[in-house]
Structure 1
Amino acid sequence: MKSIYEKALGKDYDNLHPALQKKFGLTSGSKKIAIGTGIMKRIWGGNILMKPILRIGVTKHLTFPERGEHIPFTLENVAYENDRGEECFAWIRQFNFNKPRNFDAIMTFNMKKNNITDYLGLHHDFISDISLQVLDNGGIKITSSPIRYKRVTLPKAINGQAEVIEWYDDSTEQFHIFVEVKNHYFGTIFGYEGTFSIQYKTIK
């Protein structure tokens, strides 16, 4: 069984670093969960006019108002089949400030568009389309479309587009991550960069 990312990337998937192929290759048949632990070197962004939206996003596991440096971080990736028989890939991110904050998503493969659909937040009702690119260093670049709430595209004033770059450093045996979510008018809503390592655990 091919993972949703292998389907979306096609032959380019083979150009990913082996460590990324292992992570992005998880399927419901793998019966494994990838647990990443590390440190976000810095978390930044958030125009003062965006603060109310950032606070609302906390309850939906979409955004958070806290910022800082050297923030402990965990990431759980697990592939599973939903009630409709669709292959899904979960991203459960937790940033451990004084209070833990989450930024969660479920991704699926869209056969009609031949790309990834990203269902954001706790209730999966914020949606974007995802494009993927394999980088020269074997890393991956993930770029989102503007966000829709269910079927309606959010206004530019409260919308955001994300860019994610992830790669693996053989010398340190760590994954590197860079994420930035930007608003058309207010710039960076939030961004983070850091390093983490992964352990794989078998699930039933």
Structure 2
Amino acid sequence: MVDNLGTHKHLAVGLDPTLDERGGLVLRSDAQRFYEGTVAFRSPMLFSGRALLHEWWSDDDQAFHVDLEVHNHVFGFLFGYRGTFTCEWTPAIDAPERLKPVRTELRT
């Protein structure tokens, strides 16, 4: 799975999804590539962080929970956050153009 990050989607990050013991989603980041026009290159992990994200639903408080930590193998902990949230589900009928992907890639 690839997540294109940033306002202009310049950074593509590989994500490895698994499930935890709560049935929650666990995402581990992997390789990172930078794109600008025709220029594309793999970001050296020396200057990048690896993320570990946990997201899960709790029946106890009827809320979603999120816990993220980003570490660099040289500098250690870079940043993170944790918290809870609730949401309201609304039908999406016609997505505006601004919500459509900026970049797509065929991967096999």
Q: Does 1:196 align with 2:61?
A: no
Give 3-state SS (helix, strand or coil) of 1:185's partner.
Answer: coil
Unaligned stretches of 5+ residues in structure 1? 1-115
Q: Are 1:172 and 2:57 matched, yes or no? A: no
SS at 2:9's partner residue? coil
% identity of equivalent residues:
31
Give the corresponding residue for 2:32.
147
Conserved in 2, the CA contact under 8 Å of 1:169 and 1:175? yes
TM-score, scaled to structure 1: 0.41
Query: Structure 2 stretches of 5 or more lacking a match?
Result: 94-108
| Residue 121 of structure 1 pairs with residue 1 of structure 2 | no
Whole-Å separation in 2 of the counterparts to 1:137 and 1:157? 33
C-alpha contact 1:156 1:185 (8 A) present in aligned 2 = no
Q: Is the alpha carbon distance of 1:184 and 1:153 closer, same or farther for their aligned partners in structure 2, counting shifts above 3 Å? A: farther
Displacement of 1:157: 3.6
Q: Report the Cα distance in structure 1 between the residues aligned to 2:91 and 2:80, rounded to whole angstroms.
A: 31
What is the rounded CA distance, in whole Å, between the counterparts of 2:6 and 2:29 in structure 1?
15
Spell out structure 1 runs of 4+ moving beyond 3 A. Answer: none
Q: Against the structure 1 CA distance between its residues 148 and 170, is the aligned structure 2 distance closer, same or farther, given a 3 Å change threshold?
A: same
RMSD: 1.4
Shift of 1:147: 1.9
State how 1:42-191 maps to structure 2 within 5 Å. 116-150=1-35, 151-191=40-80
Q: Which amino acid aligns with 1:198?
A: C
Structure 1 or 2: more helix by fraction = 1
